[in-house]
Amino acid sequence: MAIHIPFDNSYARLRGPFHDRVLPTPVSAPHLIAVNRALAYELAIDADSLTTADGLAVLAGNSVPVGAEPIATAYAGHQFGNFTPQLGDGRAILLGEVVDRSGARRDIQLKGSGPTVFSRRGDGRAALGPVLREYIISEAMAALGIPTTRALAAVTTGDRVQRETALPGAILTRVAASHIRVGTFQFLAARGDVEALRQLADHVIARHYPDAAGASNPYRALIDGVIARQADLVARWMLVGFIHGVMNTDNSAVSGETIDYGPCAFMDAYDPATVFSSIDRQGRYAYQNQPGITHWNLVRLAESLLPLLDADQQTSIAQANAALGAFPDYYETAFLAGMRSKLGLMTALPNDLALVQNLLDCMAANSADFTLTFRHLSDALDGDATPARDQFIDPQAFDRWAEAWRVRLTEEPQHDAGRAGAMRRVNPLFIPRNHRVEAAIEAAVTRQDFAPFEALMQVLSRPFDDQPKLRAFAEPPPADQRVFQTFCGT
């Protein structure tokens, strides 16, 4: 069955140092793990066709579909603060772009599809564990309503990849608004290629920030736009307890989507200093540092765009600083608005931030589960405070906070009717708990058992709905299953 994907490859059409043409390297015995039917529908791709032998061949990189123009994209990046002028897609190949049913342009990329000119010493491959992790967590983020790249499919390759041990290989088909990163701009800026920089900026404006085109200074408007979206994005992470883990500038998409799920994880017990990534020894990318790091990355973006902002360098710097100065406000506004919704507050009063901070401090002091504390506030409103109190080592600490919260609620103009339900629509019950993710990966990698992966995907597709039979998936790990470290596995 011929695979029909209506490609229209605007990035491949750019002429310049943006990318390198390359074909995926075939694999020996591909096997389908999953096809994301809902996403295939959005993309106007026939999901059934992807499950055929021809579809599998495409998802494995064994055949290139008509209309694809495979490329590896070039980018640079600050990794843990250190700049590398050339990174690029070392294990990913962009097949092309489609315009989806809603009119949005989306990249379709194979991750783990063999070496490219950017592979350096890497093998261009991905192991099954990290592929499943990205599949699970990116789709969970999407279900939570957080901007993210998506997973269209995953396949095993039948080949082994050598990491610390030999592991089963796999390929993720990733869908993104684009794969253009802060590091993509840094790559061109570091080469001093102002013409290419302008081409890229114009491409990003047309593709992601069309309103900026009409601004008096479109490049300033572009920076403003990225700052606003990234501030909103990191606020959303903070509001669900998500820790990205590797917020390098090459892992920061200018579209405002979450990208490059490596050692990412959701917190169980609330502790703002939480770090999961085994390679993040200094805690640079700890939960509480994420807004500051986002700002830092945006400074790198603005620096890269200085040559476009104004002919006069001092004016450019002033423009960049003015744009960057807006970040803290954007972030705090988004975070506080999100927290108000989580607490059931529809109006804004001056002491709300203190109310939020008091709860968070109390949660930290009492090892309260981040997700369940917020979720069970709804039950407390419905008359059963026990599930919320039970999250706290000292339940009376919760009682004291809840007293202040109830007083604050009396200042809301509307009645309580509907409040608990509205809160359940913003406070998820189900997040991808690390111990569940690890168990799903372990079953797949060691026993070729994908049932736990499928069960997890099922429950995470409806994170806000009570799924009484699946309640166990909402629970934090028992003491012996707690996950303290996560790994990139690249």
Which residues carry out catalysis? 250
Q: Could you say which of 186, 251, 252, 373 contacts Mg ion (CB under 5 A)?
A: 251
Shortest Cβ distance from residue 260 to Mg ion (Å)? Answer: 4
Residues 217-256 that bind ligand AMP (CB under 6 A): 246, 248, 251
Beta-carbon contacts of residue 59 (< 8 Å; ≥ 6 apart): 30, 32, 50, 110, 153, 155, 171, 173
Q: Can you name the residues that pair with 98 across neighbouring β-strands?
A: 7, 106
Q: Could you say which of 6, 17, 67, 90 contacts ligand AMP (CB under 6 A)?
A: 90
Shortest Cβ distance from residue 251 to Mg ion (Å)? Answer: 4
Shortest Cβ distance from residue 91 to ligand AMP (Å)? Answer: 4
Which one, 125 or 424, has the nearer CB to ligand AMP?
125
Choose among 45, 86, 90, 51: nearest CA to 66: 45
Which one, 125 or 203, has the nearer CB to ligand AMP?
125
Q: Could you say which of 262, 344, 452, 476 contacts ligand AMP (CB under 6 A)?
A: 262
Handedness of CA 461, 235, 260, 61 (dihedral sign): positive
Q: How far is CA 203 from CA 206, 207, 255, 299, 343, in A?
A: 5, 6, 12, 20, 40
Which one, 85 or 122, has the nearer CB to ligand AMP?
122
Residues 96-125 that bind ligand AMP (CB under 6 A): 118-119, 122-125
Which one, 122 or 421, has the nearer CB to ligand AMP?
122
The amino acid at 465: D
Q: Does 461 bind ligand AMP (CB under 6 A)?
A: no
Choose among 402, 399, 467, 383: nearest CA to 430: 467
CB atoms within 10 A of CB 142: 21
Q: Does 89 bind ligand AMP (CB under 6 A)?
A: yes
Which one, 341 or 490, has the nearer CB to ligand AMP?
490
Please tell me the count of residues contacting Mg ion according to CB under 5 A.
2
Angle value at C-alpha 100, between 94 and 105, nearest 5 degrees:
50
- The Cβ-side half-sphere exposure at 366, using a 13 Å CA radius, reads 23
Shortest Cβ distance from residue 262 to ligand AMP (Å)? Answer: 5
Q: Does 183 bind ligand AMP (CB under 6 A)?
A: no
Beta-carbon contacts of residue 457 (< 8 Å; ≥ 6 apart): 34, 135, 136, 139
Shortest Cβ distance from residue 107 to ligand AMP (Å)? Answer: 15
The stretch among 55-63, 245-253, 374-382, 478-486 that binds Mg ion (CB under 5 A) is 245-253
Beta-carbon contacts of residue 430 (< 8 Å; ≥ 6 apart): 459, 460, 462, 463, 467, 470, 473, 474
Interaction site with ligand AMP (CB under 6 A): 87-91, 118-119, 122-125, 246, 248, 251, 260, 262, 488, 490
Residues that bind Mg ion (CB under 5 A): 251, 260
